[in-house]
């Protein structure tokens, strides 16, 4: 899953597609096409930065950023489009424009109407784990058993989605690496992803790309210089059972994923 942020302030991007003049749709489309060519299986388009401490965008601002890009890409991409939003209004507009997946960082905690929009649009729905809003999420980063608590809270999100009419087969889960989690929590989640996948019986999305939890191991370097650390985290995620990894550096991480996948498959063959 390739990250295409059309925001003015996302933490991990070397290139910005939004300025005072609005969205540079053509440049964003060209970037997405390069991601597809590099091996991306899904393009995830986001119009609001959800990094810790980020200022929220209105639904109108977010839609104005993502909808023109999704509409332009829908006619040109062979791979599915995802919209990274927790707002029902934005999701509806994005699905109408050609998106097939809704990627909700809140696990249906922020907007109760979002699940109904996904159900009506027959869209796949990624349910991510977090606690609190961006400005205060670390205040709730307290766990006795991080993987057990994340699993329980994601199970509640799955129940909410199904009750709203989303088919269980349309659901994926994301443990929310870096969201309401201190670095030891994020590493703990990565180490035990297999337990999460087994307990929830849903495909697992892992998003460690360029996140700040890597700094303790790699040094205090800018987000765009964290791809080596990201590669290690992506490898760990694949070996632990992740089905999808969400990344910035597509060409490099495609190689990482394919090698890690071969190692994992060899282990599974040996076990059988």
Instruction: Provide the pairing of β-strand 81-84 with 205-206.
Output: unpaired
Does residue 211 have an active-site annotation?
Answer: yes
Two structure tokens written together for 266: 């060899």
Two structure tokens written together for 192: 């035990």
CA-to-CA separations, 84 to 70, 72, 197, 216, 253, in angstroms, rounded: 11, 17, 22, 27, 20
Half-sphere exposure of 7 (CA within 13 A, CB side): 25
| Active-site option among 34, 246, 264, 269 | 246
Does residue 192 have an active-site annotation?
Answer: no
| Active-site option among 109, 202, 211, 226 | 211
Report whether 38 contacts 248 (CB < 8 A). no
Find, among 106, 110, 119, the residue nearest to 168 by Cα. 119
Residues identified as active-site: 211, 246
């Amino acid at each position: 899953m390739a990250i295409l942020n059309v925001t003015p302030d996302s933490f991990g991007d070397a290139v910005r597609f939004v300025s005072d003049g609005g969205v540079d749709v053509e440049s964003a489309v060209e970037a997405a096409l390069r991601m597809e060519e590099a091996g991306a299986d899904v393009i995830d388009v986001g119009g609001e930065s959800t990094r810790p401490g980020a200022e929220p965008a209105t639904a109108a601002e977010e839609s104005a950023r993502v909808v023109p890009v999704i509409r332009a890409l829908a006619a040109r991409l062979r791979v599915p489009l995802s919209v990274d939003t927790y707002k029902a209004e934005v999701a509806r507009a994005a699905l109408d424009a050609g998106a097939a997946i809704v990627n909700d960082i809140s696990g249906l905690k922020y907007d109760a109407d979002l699940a109904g929009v996904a159900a009506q649009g027959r869209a796949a729905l990624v349910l991510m784990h977090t606690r609190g809003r961006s400005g205060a999420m670390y205040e709730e980063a307290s766990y006795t058993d991080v993987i057990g608590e994340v699993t329980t809270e994601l199970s509640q999100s799955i129940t909410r989605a199904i009750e709203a009419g989303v088919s269980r087969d349309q659901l994926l889960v994301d443990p929310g690496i870096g969201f309401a989690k201190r670095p030891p929590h994020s590493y703990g989640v990565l180490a035990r992803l297999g337990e999460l996948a087994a307990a929830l019986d849903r495909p697992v999305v892992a998003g460690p790309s360029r996140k700040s939890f890597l700094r303790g191991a790699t040094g205090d370097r800018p987000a765009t210089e964290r791809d080596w650390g990201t590669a290690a985290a992506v490898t760990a995620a694949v070996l632990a059972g992740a089905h999808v990894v969400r990344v910035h550096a597509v060409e490099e991480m495609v190689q990482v994923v394919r090698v890690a996948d071969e190692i994992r498959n060899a282990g599974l063959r040996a076990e059988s």
